[in-house]
Amino acid sequence: SEKLYTASPGLVNGLQARTFGVWTLLSSVIRCLCAIDIRNRTLYYITLFTFFLALVHFLSEVFIYHTAALTIGVMAPLMVASFSILGMLIGLQYLEVEALSQNKKKN
């Protein structure tokens, strides 16, 4: 939290830092599970949503609440979330094509 919320560090307390840590841990577990079972569509959408949440969170902290500045500590998660969303949206097309081809094989 010290590297992220540099614009207003007085607004961040220990409880918020721990909550953010647990949220980060939970999203990383979801992302690892998706990597293991990439063809699970529900898990894929949940993982994609975690990246959207991260992007919205960091953008709102910078541009709405002004608690974070555009430093490397904020730019790194913004870039990871943005590129991951882009990659997952591209990958979603292949997931759709694979599902259609499996349905054709069954028929």
Q: Which pTM was predicted?
A: 0.87
* CA-based nearest residue to 44, from 76, 83, 90: 90
Return the domain boundaries, the chain.
Answer: 14-106
Tokens of 8: 């207003």
What is the C-alpha separation between 51 and 61, in angstroms, rounded?
A: 15
The residue to which tokens 């961040």 are assigned? 12
pLDDT digits (tens, 9 = 90+) for 52-68: 999 999 999 999 999 99
pLDDT digits (tens, 9 = 90+) for 75-97: 999 999 999 999 999 999 988 77
Which amino acid is it at 24? T
